[in-house]
Amino acid sequence: MTVAPPPAAPPAATPTEAEAWALLLAVEDLGPAAHGALLRAYGSALAVLEAARRPGASARFAGIRSEEGTGRAIGPIVAGRIVRSLGLIDEELEVLRSSAVRIVTVADPAYPARLRAIELPPPVLFVRGSLDGLAAEHVVAVVGTRRPTDRGRAMATQIAAMITAAGGTVVSGLALGIDGASHAAAVHQSGPTVAVLGSGHAELVPRAHDRLAEGIIAAGGAVVSELWPRQPPAKWSFPRRNRLISGLSDATVVVEAGENSGALITARNALEQGRGLFLVPGRIGDPVSAGCLRWLHAYPGEARIVIGLAELVEDLGLVERASVRSRRTRRLPEPASLEAVLLELGPTARRVGTALAAGHGTLDELVATTGFEPATVLGAITLLELRGLVHSTFGRYRPAGALAAAPPARS
């Protein structure tokens, strides 16, 4: 570079090219299309940042034509923001480098090949963990409602366990309900699984899945986001994330989705991206299956019905690898042990969960068993409930989901 930095400014940290890509994305409202146009016009992200330092930059940015040449690629407001964002580069770099987040640009060979094939792939992925799982022969998304029935949760667990057992990788959204059950099933088999966030890494939601996210990384999977690490979750960020879930995968399986479920956005993306779509049917009139049924009815040629695990295995093309196992064990994957089920919880909730698994019912009994204060036990029950591990009816607490299926603790 021939232009010397402004003398008064402190020596600016020099971003790498990958960081420069990411820094551009930190500009509010600068999306993949505008990002691509800038790179085409200047050759590299570093060159864009350099250009932004020169006077009149914002007018030049606003003059860039879109790829088809039909209009402006960048609005004047965003163009102005790019220039203004220069002042914050040091601070933003600091954020980026202090977080344990890796940047993978679309130009990087490590960038997931399936995702590169979609329309407008995200220019940058912020990654924690390993993306190796996405190189597997079969990558399948398993998604569904945040409030599933026990049946739905068990179904998601079985499907994800089967995919993992067959050497495939499960992709989902780390949400409560079906998403969480799918990830957990893969982690339980120590298989890689990829969670796509609807927020930046530093703002991970739901908090209840903090430990699950760590478990995913520990099991060789990855937590991925296309959003700047400090981007809080927003209404728009989840639908946008859903196109990545389907885009990373060969096929998407929807287990329980209500009429307006976000899982159906993933389903739509899967069809638009030319990927497979499988829907698990449910009873007519059951609200948690209304969305699946509607889609089966509306897209008879494209949306495929799941009528059994063995058939799904065949349809997904997992059959050769899975056949050895699936013929015998397709009924139910072995239930997770109690320790595994409670692994991601804190010590308090773990003790309460263990007491519950032994069949203790009321708060009084749980207090007597654990020796905790009633207030503490009540809080722990909520944490268990968030994971679908406990049911409460009329003042009695019963183990549910994986906790009910788990064999008693070995001690």
Partner 1 sequence: MLATLLSSTLVGLDGRIIRVEVDVAPGLPGFTIVGLADAALQEARERVRGAIRNAGFSHPPRRITVNLAPADLRKAGASLDLAIAIGILLGSEQVTAAPGRIALIGELSLGGEVASVPGILPMTAALARRGIRRLVVARDAVAEAQLVDGIEVVGVGTLREAADAVRRRSRRSTRPLPPRIELASGGPAPDPTGVPAAPAVAVDGIAPDLVEVRGQLEARRALEIALAGSHGLLLVGPPGSGKTLLARTIPTLLPPLGDADALAATVVASAAGEGPISALRREAPVRSPHHTLSYAAMVGGGPRMSPGEVTLADHGVLFLDELPEFGRDVLEALRQPLEDGHVSIARVGRATRFPARVLLVAAMNPCPCGWAGDPSDRCRCPQPVVDRYAGRVSGPLRDRIDLWVSMGRLPPEALIAGREPEASSVVAERVRRARAAQVERQGVLNGRLSGRRLRAICRLDGAAGRQAIALAELEGLTARGTERLLRVSRTIADLEGSPAVRGEHLDEAARFRSFAARLASREAS
Closer CB to partner 1, 221 or 262, in the complex: 262
User: Rounded distance, CA 394 to CA 258, Å?
Assistant: 27
Closest approach of partner 1 to the CB of residue 56, in Å: 40
| Interface stretch with partner 1, choices 112-120, 221-229, 236-244, 392-400 (CB under 8 A) | 392-400
Residue 375 found at the interface with partner 1 (CB under 8 A): yes
Closest approach of partner 1 to the CB of residue 375, in Å: 5
Number of residues that bind partner 1 (CB under 8 A): 44
Give the E-state strand segments of 187-333 in sequence order. Answer: 193-196, 222-225, 251-255, 276-280, 303-305
**Do residues 325 and 165 touch, judged by C-beta distance below 8 A?**
yes
Tokens of 104: 């993978």
For residue 125, give the nearest of 108, 146, 140 by alpha carbon.
108
Closest approach of partner 1 to the CB of residue 345, in Å: 12
Contact set for partner 1, span 182-241 (CB under 8 A): 203-208, 233
What residue type is assigned to position 273 of the chain? Q
Closer CB to partner 1, 147 or 325, in the complex: 147
List the one residue from 71, 394, 410, 411 that touches partner 1 (CB under 8 A). Answer: 394
Burial label for 135, CB within 10 Å (0-12, 13-18, 19+), is: middle
Burial label for 220, CB within 10 Å (0-12, 13-18, 19+), is: middle
List the one residue from 51, 340, 378, 404 that touches partner 1 (CB under 8 A). Answer: 378
User: Rounded distance, CA 151 to CA 145, Å?
Assistant: 12
For residue 136, give the nearest of 202, 193, 69 by alpha carbon.
193
List the one residue from 15, 112, 258, 276 that touches partner 1 (CB under 8 A). Answer: 258
CB contact burial 359-383 (16+ within 10 A = b; e otherwise): ebeebebbbebbebeeebbeebbeb
Closest approach of partner 1 to the CB of residue 53, in Å: 34
List the one residue from 261, 273, 354, 370 that touches partner 1 (CB under 8 A). Answer: 261
List the one residue from 6, 7, 56, 395 that touches partner 1 (CB under 8 A). Answer: 395
List the one residue from 133, 192, 291, 399 that touches partner 1 (CB under 8 A). Answer: 291
Q: Which residues contribute to the site for partner 1 (CB under 8 A)?
A: 145-147, 176, 203-208, 233, 256-261, 287-288, 290-291, 361-365, 367-368, 374-376, 378-383, 385-386, 392-396
